[in-house]
Amino acid sequence: MRKAIVVGSGAGGATAARELQGKYDVTVLEAGGEFRPFSANLSRIEILKRIGLMRDAREIRFLFGQMKARKTRDRSIMINGGAIGGTTTLATGNALRVDHDLKAIGIDLDAEFEELYREVPVSTDHMKRWYPTTRRAFSIFQDMHLNPHPMPKMGDSRKCINCGRCVLGCPEGAKWDARKFLKDAMRKGATVMTECAVERVIISGGKARGVIFKEGWRTEHLGADLVVLAAGGFGTPAILKRSGVECEDRLFVDHVLTIAGRVSGARQNTEISMPFAAQRDGYILAPYFDYLSYFFNRRWKFRAADTFGIMIKIADDCTGTVHGNRIEKTLTRRDRAKLEEGAATCAEILWRLGAKERDIVRGTINGGHPGGMLPLTAEDSGTLHPSALPENLYVADATLFPNSLGNPPIFTIMALARRVSRMCLEL
Ligand SMILES: Cc1cc2nc3c(=O)[nH]c(=O)nc-3n(C[C@H](O)[C@H](O)[C@H](O)COP(=O)(O)OP(=O)(O)OC[C@H]3O[C@@H](n4cnc5c(N)ncnc54)[C@H](O)[C@@H]3O)c2cc1C
Ligand code: SF4
């Protein structure tokens, strides 16, 4: 059987491995190890913060090694998952279809989305467990004509215990993540190699011949007939560049800023993250307990149980780039204007919820939806294969998106990765 290498085991990689295994003998190379949810007691973290030991969000790696945090020059924090399942294990489980920009260049993913909705359980059943403050917030959003919608969530809502730690990994297995697709691939015979970080793709004679990867201190080589890169919006362009494939400096990350207020007894920290969202022009608003700010931001000083946050997630301008491990990404004037417009609305909502003006604080700006550095164009719509790539090297993640979504991308990445895999099956 022909051999395929899939790099990365997140939304794109797990989907590709599951599709390809059988027609190809698939090996998944994943830089990280097994995923374990964060299990530390929050009161201990609060003590560490009080004595000044929690200052820099990059230190999250000491508490929770599966979350990778890097800082840009303008001090935004870039987040991604670095273990099996990729960033899907840190996701809040939102399942949205956001493919208008792909449709606009002639890529119709109707069939792939239909299949995904059949295979991945998605529901808004979590609504039944919303706390009174969240219900009140929903009504306030409605009163302000913000048109909120309960968020469709991937997973089995019956298993959810409202622990509020979705972004730290679900301890109950209630939240769906890409490890499920990876297991399917393994059941069909795929091999998954952890702690194997791919350095570059070996390209000669216009074809990908395999990859060079690091396993511990050892440098190894693995040959293949097909290579699919799904190392995420930060990881894939880094590998491409090291392999001599030019990318475009069009990185987007969907910056997030959370505005929070002291709202007594809100208990948002023990409720499912992002229970609903309102779509605005170029950004979304959604209730969100921002752990990154709670852990590391000195302005974030209220008791967790009395903190209610609302995130602004923007569709940012595609202006950044990745150089190896370094991410260059700054907020443009347009990005800042969206954040400011959203922040003013959040402050109004929090005030209506009962927070005093002096008790409304800003969180740490972060980004965790990277992509855009090898964008598909209308010319690629039939092949999903940008011409910069050798014929048997494919990309199956948000690196291919023409623009930022400003919205949760997992479902759209999985639909696209599925289609990309089908193109590979035709090779
Ligand atoms: C806190 C947070 C919450 C989120 N919530 C949601 C949500 O609710 N819904 C939603 O749709 N989206 C959400 N997202 C975004 C979503 O999780 C990611 O956009 C998505 O997982 C990206 O999928 P991917 O396959 O491209 O990359 P990833 O899922 O990041 O997977 C890439 C994998 O490749 C591995 N890798 C990287 N480099 C290498 C290398 N050189 N060699 C080998 N392996 C490598 C990484 O370790 C990783 O496991 C969230 C993101 C964050 C940060
Ligand atoms: S709130 Fe529910 S879905 Fe989220 S981590 Fe806890 S148990 Fe899992």
- CB of 37 within 6 A of ligand 2: the answer is no
Residue 105 burial (CB count, 10 A): 14
pLDDT for the residue 354: 97
Residue 251 DSSP class? B
Q: Which of 417, 399, 7, 14 is nearest to 212 (CA)?
A: 7
- Closest ligand 2 atom, residue 37 Cα: 5
The Cα 417–Cα 264 span in angstroms is: 44
pLDDT for the residue 48: 82
Residue given tokens 């309960």 in the structure block: 150
100 Cα: distance to centroid of ligand 2 (angstroms): 30
- CB of 272 within 6 A of ligand 2: the answer is yes
| Closest ligand to the CA of 89 | 1
199 Cα: distance to centroid of ligand 2 (angstroms): 35
Give the Å distances, CA to CA, from 54 to 59, 77, 292, 300: 7, 15, 10, 12
* Band of residue 399 on the pLDDT scale cut at 50, 70, 90: very high
| 372: Cα within 13 Å, side-chain hemisphere | 24
Q: What percent of the chain has pLDDT over 70?
A: 100
Q: Whose CA is nearest to atom 6 of ligand 2?
A: 163
206 Cα: distance to centroid of ligand 2 (angstroms): 47
pLDDT for the residue 125: 96
Q: Give the mean pLDDT of 280-297.
A: 95
95 Cα: distance to centroid of ligand 2 (angstroms): 15
291 Cα: distance to centroid of ligand 2 (angstroms): 14
Residue 235, both tokens: 């990881």
- CB of 164 within 6 A of ligand 2: the answer is yes
Q: Whose CA is nearest to atom 49 of ligand 1?
A: 86
- CB of 167 within 6 A of ligand 2: the answer is no
Residue 380, both tokens: 């690629």
Q: pLDDT higher for 295 or 365?
A: 365
Q: Whose CA is nearest to atom 4 of ligand 2?
A: 166
- CB of 201 within 6 A of ligand 2: the answer is no
| Closest ligand to the CA of 96 | 1
- CB of 122 within 6 A of ligand 2: the answer is no
- Closest ligand 1 atom, residue 197 Cα: 42
Q: Give the mean pLDDT of 218-225.
A: 97
| Closest ligand to the CA of 160 | 2
pLDDT for the residue 308: 97
Residue 27, both tokens: 């090996």
- Give the pLDDT confidence of 293-333 residue by residue, as tens digits: 998 998 888 999 999 999 999 999 999 999 988 999 999 99
- Give the pLDDT confidence of 79-100 residue by residue, as tens digits: 999 999 999 999 999 999 999 9
Q: Give the mean pLDDT of 121-128.
A: 96
Pocket test of ligand 1: the residue of 18, 84, 87 to mutate, having most ligand atoms within 8 Å of its CB, is 87
Residue 241 DSSP class? H
Q: Give the mean pLDDT of 383-406.
A: 97
Let me know if 58 is exposed, middle or buried by CB neighbors in 10 A (0-12, 13-18, 19+): middle
pLDDT at 43 over 80: no
* Band of residue 377 on the pLDDT scale cut at 50, 70, 90: very high
- Closest ligand 2 atom, residue 159 Cα: 7
414 Cα: distance to centroid of ligand 1 (angstroms): 11
Q: Whose CA is nearest to atom 33 of ligand 1?
A: 8
138 Cα: distance to centroid of ligand 2 (angstroms): 20
Pocket test of ligand 2: the residue of 170, 269, 271, 273 to mutate, having most ligand atoms within 8 Å of its CB, is 170
Whether this prediction's pTM lies above 0.95 is answered by yes
Q: Give the mean pLDDT of 233-252.
A: 97
Q: Give the mean pLDDT of 344-361.
A: 97
pLDDT at 61 over 90: no
Residue given tokens 């409202």 in the structure block: 162
The beta strand positions in 116-225, using DSSP E, are: 122-123, 148-150, 153-154, 191-193, 196-204, 207-215, 218-223
- CB of 231 within 6 A of ligand 1: the answer is yes
pLDDT at 221 over 80: yes
92 Cα: distance to centroid of ligand 2 (angstroms): 8
